[in-house]
Homo-oligomer: A and B are copies of this chain.
């Protein structure tokens, strides 16, 4: 009882909170998924998401206020994307240190608007407050047919494990911004931009949802390894990862600094690729749907019966640890 949140960590905080919440009867999306939802009428859901950006932990040096505000929206869009739901509107509650200037507020407002408009949504309201930290707490809303909602629980053994892009760039970008590591110009921009201007895979998520091929989905904002373990726990399956999707720029950066590219790829975070499981019989439809919107679906492994997440590359099996970004601890 006397343990601090630093000791119990973010997962411990969430577990503690959930013990005190009476769940809504017939709640269409269980606690712990990327988003929440309420029924609108017979067949539809209003899908809602709230995600808070705090300057101290979520805004690395080098990120402008405009980029921070845009990111606060993108974080929410990404979770909606993972569920195949188009966000229609976003609310933004702001906590602002009173040393900010009018110009800073303009930057923030412009970033909020940009983040929403890039994905076809609008900022429709919000709230402003005084706070010690910069706090941007966005909430997004969208609608979907109940049967179309993609949760975390539907993965079955034999499903194909896939992602919408390569991993590791944000880990490298953060090392450049936070630790001052160097990188040749031709990769530096890509790595840094992946942190400063993250992109949600919305058109990819919507295209995937339209195929009915995806059995479970999550975004990778807490890192690829963490996402795999979350899907594993929620669906009661394991994963054998046979192809680790390391971004070429991350590979190069790892080589330069003697880092493990697998570490960069698996245990990063602030990455917004989708991690999905796909019915094998609909794989080509899913792949084609993604190509049709200019995206790609990269097969990285398969769902297995035993609840373990392993990396099987080069004839060698190693365990992928259940770790990732965690507030209060990291």
Contacts and interface: CB of A to CB of B under 8 A. Distances in A.
A75 B29 CA distance: 25
A54 B129 contact: yes
Nearest to A96: B5
Contact of A22 (B2, B29, B117): B117
Nearest to A35: B125
A135 B40 contact: no
A236 B143 CA distance: 35
Given A117-B22, A124-B24, A141-B46, A56 B132 contact: yes
B105 A137 contact: no
Number of chain copies forming the complex: 2
A274 B232 CA distance: 49
Nearest to A11: B128
Contact of A93 (B2, B40, B122, B137): B137
Contact of A126 (B17, B56, B122): B17
B125 A49 contact: yes
Contacts of A125: 29, 31, 35-36, 48-50
Contacts of A96: 5, 13, 328
Contacts of A139: 48, 50, 91, 93, 139
A89 interface: yes
Contact of A13 (B10, B37, B112, B128): B128
A322 interface: no
Interface in A1-34: 1-6, 8, 10, 12-14, 16-24, 27, 29, 31
A23 B122 CA distance: 7
